[in-house]
Structures are given as C-alpha cells and as structure tokens.
A = this chain, B = another copy of it.
Amino acid sequence: MPAEVSIYEVGPRDGLQNEATILSADRKIEMIEGLVDAGVKRIEVTSFVNPRWIPALADHMEVATRIRRKPGVTYSALVPNLRGLDAASRAGMQEIAVFMAASQTHNRKNINKTTEEALATYREVVTEARSRGMTVRGYVSTVYGCPYEGEVPFEQVLRVGKSLLDMGCYELSLGDTIGVGTPRQVEYILDGLLHADIRLDQLAVHFHDTRGTALANITVALQLGIRTVDSAIGGLGGCPYAPGASGNVSTEDVVYMLHGMGCRTGIDLDRLVAISARLGGHLARELPSKYLKAHLGHCARVGKPLA
C-alpha cells in the first residue's frame, strides 16, 4: 500500500451535476473552499458546458471566478469544446478536463459525437489549452461497462486513453460510469494499460459506488500502484441510469479507508464529514456515504492507522 494517495475531489462537478437539488453559487463556493480548507489539494469545481445541458452548473463563471484560491491547490473545470475552454480561460482556470467514453454509443448519446469526432475536438481543445499554459486531465468513461453496449472491449479503452495522452493530457481518469466494475476487472484493465506503455503516474481511478464495489476496486488499484483516486464528498451524484442508486464513491469513505491503512491524504476526516453533513442538509437528502451515516449515528470510533 502506498504511503501517500492523492484525492481528486469531483463532488462540485460530477456530484452536483447529478443532484436533483440545485445549490446556489454561494453554497457551492462555501463547499469548495471548505473542502480545500479540509486538506483537499485537487478539486474539479465546475463544468463550462452549455447551461441548457447541465442547468445545475449554469453558474460556472461565477463559481470559478469567486472561489478564494489557495496556493498549492489545483482547481480544475470540465470543458467540452473551444468555447468552454475560452470561458475557463477567462475564469482563470489553470487546469481543465476533457471527457469522453470508451464506447461508441455512449459518445453518441452523451456528447453527440462519434468517438473519432470527440477525439478530433479534444485534440484542438487540448492543444489550445496547453498553448495557454494549462494542464489537461482526460476522463475516459464507461471503462468497466456501458449502459448501451454492455462490456466495452479493452482495445477501445486503450485506444481512447492512448489518444488522450498523446494529444497532451497528463493523466487519465478511468471511469466506472455505471458502477459495475469488480476487482478482477480492475486488475485486468490496469494491467493491460500498464503493459501498453502507459505509466502508473498517468492513471487515476474514478469509481461510482452503484453496487458497493468502489472501495474494493480502489484497494486493488492501490495494490497495483495507482496513486490518484477520484471521489466526491458525501458520495454525491447518482447513476443517471438508475434513479435512487448511489453515485460517486464518497470522499470520506475513501479517506477513512486510506487512513485506516496508514496511507496519508493530507485531509482532515472530521472536517470532511462536517462538510458532508451540511451538504446533506442543503440537498435535503440522506447522502449515501456510509462513513457519514456511522458518524451521524455516533458509532464508537476506534482504530488508528497501522504503524
């Protein structure tokens, strides 16, 4: 197990875009600043997409410009095209993320492009972003399964991943969009990518906890050497294909497990869970994080990291 793990907080973007309740910009800013104060060092704060597609993040410009930025922290935003890049640039973003699926049908339905068209668009976006001095993260979704196609051939994951790295992304976040992955599949896919000349430090894992397997999948990824884990405070979000199902793996569950194994994250778990409890109130629902529920139930807390 690694001595240190980098948490990439995606709650303000991937989480909130899938919540029924839309938070005000003030609440979002409070949330983002709170997470950073709790020790989060990398955070995706919004998405510069057309508000028609994602009304929950229509205030991207306000959020991105008003957050108080701390030195040493990476603030990122999702960008779908050159227009979004321009807006992100005007908002002072230093890092952006591009997003596409490994599966053809998901790209058509989700971003209205073929895989080739998406790659062509992002090639322009990434080149332009880098020429402006920004770093770019690449999301590959449906890595473990596609709601339309079922299992996605590994070759498609590899092709999309490689293309994103080749065009200049510094890191791939491998997404289990519908939360179907299991540990052996994680091993299979990560092993495959690592044997295709992709480096460990170019890979991050992004699990949705739809079927409860996220922490098991993360454990196996860590055993294989992965050092960056995406998560969302409270387990925000949901599965757009399953009303009521769990969303992103929760940051506090991940941090609890990591600290329990003696892996440092730099994050204060008590502060994290306080933010999560407040967010549950703002969103008027019981968030799926199990650590949060145990905490709210005042479960006896024991256990400290093993040496």
Contact = CB atoms under 8 A, between A and B. Distances in A.
Contacts of A248: none
Interface string A120-149: 000000000000000000000000111111
A99 interface: no
A262 to B, nearest CB: 7
Copies in the complex: 2
Q: Which of A146, A183, A211 has the most CB of B within 10 A?
A: A211
Interface residues of A, number: 58
Given A239-B294, A257-B183, A302 B146 contact: yes
Interface in A85-131: none
A151 B302 contact: yes
Contact of A211 (B213, B216, B253): B253
A162 interface: no
Chain A interface mostly:
loop
B151 A211 contact: no
A146 B150 CA distance: 43
The 6 closest A-B pairs by CB, nearest first: A242-B299, A182-B260, A242-B297, A212-B290, A147-B300, A145-B302
11 contacts: A146-B302, A180-B302, A183-B219, A184-B261, A188-B306, A209-B212, A212-B256, A216-B219, A216-B257, A245-B299, A246-B293
Given A147-B300, A245-B294, 14 more contacts: A146-B302, A178-B300, A180-B260, A184-B262, A185-B260, A209-B290, A210-B299, A211-B256, A212-B212, A212-B257, A213-B257, A239-B294, A241-B300, A245-B299
